[in-house]
Amino acid sequence: MAKVVNHLKLRVGYGAVGNQNFPGGAPNPAYVGAVQFFSGPVGFGTSNMINGIPNPNLKWESVKTTNVGLDIGFLNGRIDATIDAYKKVTSDMIIFLTGPNLIGVGDQWDDLKAPLGNAGQMTNTGVDLGITSTNIRNDNFTWKTNAVLTQFTNTYDKAASAASALDGKVYYNNYLVTHTTPGRPVGSFWGLVTDGLFRNQSDLDNSLPQFGYKVNQNETWLGDIRFKDINGDKKIDAGDMTFIGSPLPKFTWGLTNSFTYKGIDLSIFLQGSQGAKAFNFLRWQLEGLNSAWSNQMRTVNDRYTESNPNGSLPRFTVTNKNNIAMSDRYVEDASYARIQNITLGYRLPTAFLSKIKVSNLRIYGSVQNLKTFTRYSGYDPEIGAFNNSIKLMNVDMGHYPNPRTFTLGANLQF
């Protein structure tokens, strides 16, 4: 056993910390009132407005973390492995205490900011695995590999009240795209479930009423989206909205291979994510097919028409608003694999450098974000949180893609 396992270490940890970070757009400080002044039209003086509603009882979030880890070394350092399992519980979460629009406060850029409060609890659990191996090592050539794998789950445990939820809205607060209730991951996508298009008269004859629309060319007609009756009440309405995807991946991974041969070194870093969903709201704008004055992608050429009854997209209509309802039509698989970095370097021989009074000279070139393999139709499947909001994870509002970068450089030592 000692010849195989030469290092073994067990780690156990527990800690509790506070967090005073406020959500994006929150007034700071949030526990006192403020008045914002701004200049009005010439001759009318200055104006003022309330900048947020204070909450003097606001306190820090509490984050309690428990973790267990194991470090193992095999074969005299040829293989090292690290395994960590953790549980992080965030309670008294600092969130906007929003309500119906009629009360006049919210969390959007043009709202009178709702008060911040301590409400709800969230739990993150996960496992991190890391392995480093020296595959080949001799006088002239080495090959080392480092692999990491991360799996985690997120659950919203408690809400502020039995009737409350964490809602994420976009486009001037008009469209609800995420709706998180206890037991679900934060930022869960919310909407209708599509069931193809109405492609023939038989489909229309057997259709259920969709948000009160009747069967005619101005309401429900050939080429319109058909939705599933989730609650079984023989009609399609807001009661059929349901959870349609999670922005969280099943796992993420990274793989680095490093090679050296005499003075040449090469490093290749791959990374990816598997199982996450993305809500491509940009498609809602560019494949909406509800306005003759809006820019559209070329994919709309494959819309339903009389001459193209098998089109993949619904018909063009300015009267049936159901076709642009929030639904799984815009939810896509955001899994990807990426060649994140390749670096090639050359270290000049010491015998040559000694002649020019230089102790070390390495010339290198690298490329960042070389290639991404994905089925996601947007610019970049690695989206993040829109407006830094945990409620809008992987909501693509036109996320700017990561650039591809080429670098040439030198490391010089005298």
309-334 pLDDT tens trace = 999 999 999 999 999 999 999 999 99
- pLDDT beyond 90 at 53: no
**What does the mean pLDDT of the chain come to?**
89
* Predicted local confidence at residue 37, as pLDDT: 63
Decide: helix, strand or coil at residue 303: strand
Task: Determine what percent of the chain is predicted with pLDDT higher than 70.
Answer: 89
Q: What is the pTM of this model?
A: 0.86
Contact between residue 31 and residue 54 where contact means Cβ atoms under 8 Å apart = yes
* Predicted local confidence at residue 311, as pLDDT: 95
- pLDDT beyond 90 at 32: no
Q: How far apart are CA 227 and CA 241, in angstroms?
A: 10
Residue 56 pLDDT level (bands cut at 50, 70, 90): confident
* Predicted local confidence at residue 33, as pLDDT: 67
* Predicted local confidence at residue 31, as pLDDT: 65
Residue 163 pLDDT level (bands cut at 50, 70, 90): low
- Radius of gyration for the chain, computed over Cα atoms and rounded to the nearest angstrom: 28
399-406 — which CB contacts under 8 Å span 24+ positions?
Answer: 402/369, 403/368, 403/369, 404/367, 404/368, 404/369, 404/370, 405/367, 405/368, 405/369, 406/365, 406/366, 406/367, 406/368
Contact between residue 228 and residue 240 where contact means Cβ atoms under 8 Å apart = yes
- Mean per-residue pLDDT, 333-343: 97
Q: What is the pLDDT of residues 190-215, one digit of tens each?
A: 999 999 999 999 999 999 999 999 99
Q: Which residues contact 308 (CB under 8 A, 6 or more apart)?
A: 302
In the chain, the N- to C-terminal Cα span, in Å, equals: 47
Helices (H), 331-400: 350-355
Q: How far apart are CA 388 and CA 394, in angstroms?
A: 11
Domain ranges in the chain are 255-275+334-414
3-class secondary structure per residue, 171-201 = CCCCEEEEEECCCCCCCCEEEECEEEECCCH
Q: How far apart are CA 134 and CA 200, in angstroms?
A: 63
Give whole-number Cα distances, 121 to 94, 184, 298, 387, 405, in Å: 10, 12, 44, 22, 41
* Predicted local confidence at residue 231, as pLDDT: 95
Length of the chain: 414
Q: How far apart are CA 274 and CA 276, in angstroms?
A: 6
